Structure 1
Amino acid sequence: MPVPLSFFRSETSQRLRAEGMAASVLVLLDQRGIEVSEEARERISACRSTEALTTWLTRISTAKSTAELFGRWGPMATQLSLLRSKTAQRLRAEGHYERYIQGYVESFTEGYLTGTAKSILALLDHRGIEAPEEAREHITSCRDIETLAVWFDRAVDAGSIADVLVAG
């Protein structure tokens, strides 16, 4: 049974997008050699505010520490895993758990792709690299995780949009 499209606009899907953005923040911090304490790592991983995550993504290029990265954003509450939620328990009891997992995986993948594409564009914008609408559409419509990961890595040091999207 296919998952209704409304699921991808749901609160759950938004949380999954945030997880993808949080993963991007951690990758960039690692690439910049910024030490991330276990507390900071948990704070980033648990963050579900795309507004905060977008702010952090734009601060990464100049931040020298996680304290500078966080700025005014206070600690975020840790969310329980969707797989341990009451909804998951109810669906498991009703025998619908396989479809729930399928929907979770599909939503996570969509959220990760969307979050990574938004992270690339936010990083380019913050670095002052102009990305024409055609390039933005190319990035946001990409559905290959490996390609997005390569583009994200390139966006850290790229001098132009061509440097990010170059083949190979």
Structure 2
Amino acid sequence: MARPRLPQQQELLVDVWTISKVREDVERLLEHVVRLQSEAVALAGAYGGKQADLATLVGVSRQRVGQLFDQVDITDVTKASLEAQIRQVEGWPQDVMTALVQLARPRDADDQEHRELLRRQTAIVYGQAEADRRHDARSKFLASVSSDPDASAQVADAAARARRTVFGTDASA
């Protein structure tokens, strides 16, 4: 006969099971997003998108983009249906998606490599003039934040709110 569990043990088992089910759901959602991304890359290639540009936007090698061109069946994929699905995915749940974007921004201040990648991606999508304008505006903003304690505090508060929205606490996990 099994020993009865302590209440804390039982509660922790429930927690493990609950978060395991959530992880499975998130993995299914991720699979859907990966499929959409693969279809978007393949469709862009079918419309004449360059492998180098798509590789930069997706963050994979040109060879991987070529594999997606070959592997993904886009016969039933239309531009309209793909865009509708992407808009739907972007809205999952909107407050968390917005907070995730806000969590990514603070690293711009000390991650020059990320800022340069973002500049190249923006240039591919919107053109070099727009990429330069956005880069200059972001650089000016970051310089003003670093020199102004009030602005730094506001950015830190916004980051804390974003962490709470995503993680439920102020822990920067």
State the TM-score, normalized to the length of structure 1. 0.26
Q: Which structure exhibits the higher relative contact order, with contacts defined as CA atoms closer than 8 Å and separated by 6 or more residues?
A: 1
- The structure with the larger Rg is 2
Which structure: greater helix fraction?
2
State the TM-score, normalized to the length of structure 2. 0.26
